[in-house]
Amino acid sequence: MEQSNGPIIEPLRAASADPSFVPGITGAAPAEPEEPAGEPAPVVEDAPGTADDERPAPAAEPGEEPADGPVFEAADRRGRIVADAEGVRLSYDEEACEFRWDELAAVESEKGRFGKRFTVTVHTPDRRWYPIEIIAPDRGRVTAWESELDAVLDAYFDETA
């Protein structure tokens, strides 16, 4: 008969093992619907000399108007933060989450003491927090990001909610 001298460890049921455990994280996008068998898919040809980056952005949806207020956007090679009239969107590698302004309890930012790191932490009313760290191209950009984020928070975030 074997006897264990160590502690009994329960199986881990948290975000580290199951990403769907975290509220606010969106799931994988559904697959594109297949075209009917009788109709071939339309072919879109590239114009010579144009790259994907040079094409104009698609027009907004008919009922969707761009926001006139301030917009904050910061990104590096792995992460991205966008705050605008709709709310705050965070993405890091393949994970992404979205928060409307009425879903937030607080948004705090912090710049690294010696480097180019800029951290934004989104707090929800149910005492959860979602930090994301972005590495700026230079130290001056971190200061600009702080002022841009403050302008967006002043415009859209209602602290009395």
Residue-range domain boundaries for the chain? 69-161
CB-CB contact of 88 with 107 (8 Å): yes
DSSP string covering 58-116 = PPPPTT-----S--EEEE-SSEEEEEETTEEEEEETTEEEEEEGGG-SEEEEEE-SSSS
**Segment 96-120 mean pLDDT:** 92
Give the CA angle between residues 31, 32, 33 to the nearest 5°: 115
pLDDT of res. 57: 43
CA atoms within 13 A on the CB side of 140: 0
What contacts 54, CB < 8 A, 6 or more positions away? none
What token pair was written down for 157? Answer: 């975030």
What six digits make up the tokens of 47?
A: 């114009």
Q: Mean pLDDT throughout 118-133?
A: 94
Cβ-contact 119, 131 below 8 angstroms: yes
Under CATH, which architecture does the 69-161 domain have? Roll (2.30)
Whether the per-residue pLDDT at 98 is higher than 90: the answer is yes
Output the average pLDDT for the chain: 77
Which pLDDT does position 7 carry in this prediction?
Answer: 72
The CA distance from 125 to 4, in Å, is 42
Tell me which of 86 and 7 has the higher pLDDT: 86
Confidence of residue 114 (pLDDT cuts 50, 70, 90): confident
- What would the DSSP string read from start to end of 113-145? SSSSEEEEEEE-TTS-EEEEEEE-SSHHHHHHH
